[in-house]
Amino acid sequence: MNEQKNDFEGRIDNKYKPKVLLKTNIVMLAIIGSILPFYLLFIFLESQLMMLWILLIITTVIIPYAIVIVVVNWYLNRYVDYFSYRFEKDKIIINHGVLTKTRATIPYSRIQNINIVNGVFDRLYDIYTVKVQTAGSSAPAQGQGGAGRPEGYIPGLRNPEIVEKKINEMITEYAGIPSGLEDKVFKPEELAFDNFISYILSKMREGDRLKTSISELREGQELSRAQLAEKVGVPSQTIEYLEEGRYSPSLLLAYKIAEALNCKIEELFKVT
């Protein structure tokens, strides 16, 4: 992995391979250890068939074990070679997979928390796993080793603090108030902005749906929901909820949408 040389991209450390191989060997040996005594018992009871039982052990235990180890080693080599992650201005991109190549894109706006895991086998090889928990993920990422993983799963890191620090820096930079925001919405003479805030607060208090103009403005710019969502860094479902008045946006999100649609923030909502 090269996160020390380049904070913006990295790869899995090669120590990830022996760690997974060790886990695989332990599982395989546990399975073999559970069935081998029965073979030995039959050999003892049927000594005249010893050669047959030895051949059976070779064909049903040793050869399958060797095949599994070879396949897992091949799979790990391909997995480690392809796995990469990259930090961009508004998102993290993670490439992984062997038989099925997957490119996971995680906008910083969806990141909720970052966990650094150092399990028993990780400690043996001095590596870590970074798990990036996201909001609105419809299904866990399913990569090498099983399902149930978070969307942002980066294993085999030697220096996870570098990755964590970089993610936090990019989130802070992304979530900061964009340049020019103060000029557009914080001037005392911009009373329309006060109407916008009071309108959203009143609807949240009353439990009513917001009346928005986002759909009309988006169509006027010839943008699809997916295209607008990509511009502002949120899932397309968020745009759908906003257009239906089922979701109250943050000030930052409202500003980003207004900027993408080339309009003022107060024009996004119908104040009545």
- Looking at the fold, whether 11 and 138 belong to one and the same domain comes out as yes
Q: Are 56 and 35 in contact (CB under 8 A)?
A: no
Domains: count for the chain:
2
* Residue 189 confidence (pLDDT) above 70: no
Query: What's the pLDDT score for residue 122?
Result: 92
Task: Tell whether 50 and 138 lie within a shared domain.
Answer: yes
For residue 116, give every residue at least 6 positions away whose Cβ sits within 8 Å of its Cβ, in sequence order, or none.
Answer: 128, 129, 130, 131, 160, 161, 164
Quick one: 226 and 171 in the same domain? Answer: no
For residue 168, the model assigns a pLDDT of 83
Alpha-carbon torsion, ordered 201, 202, 207, 212, to 10 deg: -80
Answer yes or no: do 172 and 201 share one domain. no
Are residues 147 and 199 located together in one domain of the fold?
no
**Claim to verify: residue 131 and residue 264 sit in the same structural domain:** no
Shared domain check, 130 and 15: yes
Q: Which of 211, 236, 212, 210 is nearest to 223 (CA)?
A: 236
Domain match, 67 and 41 both: yes
Residue after which a domain boundary falls, among 176, 206, 231 = 176
Q: For residue 202, what pLDDT is reported?
A: 58
Q: For residues 77 and 252, which has the higher predicted lDDT (pLDDT)?
A: 77
pLDDT winner (highest mean) among 45-54, 227-236, 242-251: 227-236
Rounded to an integer, what distance in angstroms lies between the CA atom of residue 118 and that of residue 272? Answer: 55
Calculate mean pLDDT across residues 239-251.
77
Q: pLDDT, tens digit, for every residue of 99-117?
A: 989 898 888 878 878 889 9
pLDDT at residue 176 above 60? no
Domain, as residue range, for 2 = 1-176
Residue 42 and residue 53 in contact, taking contact as beta carbons nearer than 8 Å: yes
Q: Please tell me whether residues 256 and 151 are part of one structural domain.
A: no
**Residue 125: its pLDDT value, please?**
92
Q: How confident is the model at residue 201 (pLDDT cuts 50, 70, 90)?
A: low
Least confident range of 44-48, 65-69, 78-82, 247-251 = 44-48
Q: What is the pLDDT of residue 175?
A: 58
pTM tops 0.75: no
User: In this model, does residue 193 exceed pLDDT 80?
Assistant: no
Q: What CATH number corresponds to the domain at position 246?
A: 1.10.260.40
My answer on whether 248 and 208 are in the same domain is yes
* Domain boundary residue, one of 143, 176, 209: 176
| Same structural domain, 158 and 28 | yes
* 61 and 35 both lie in a single domain: yes
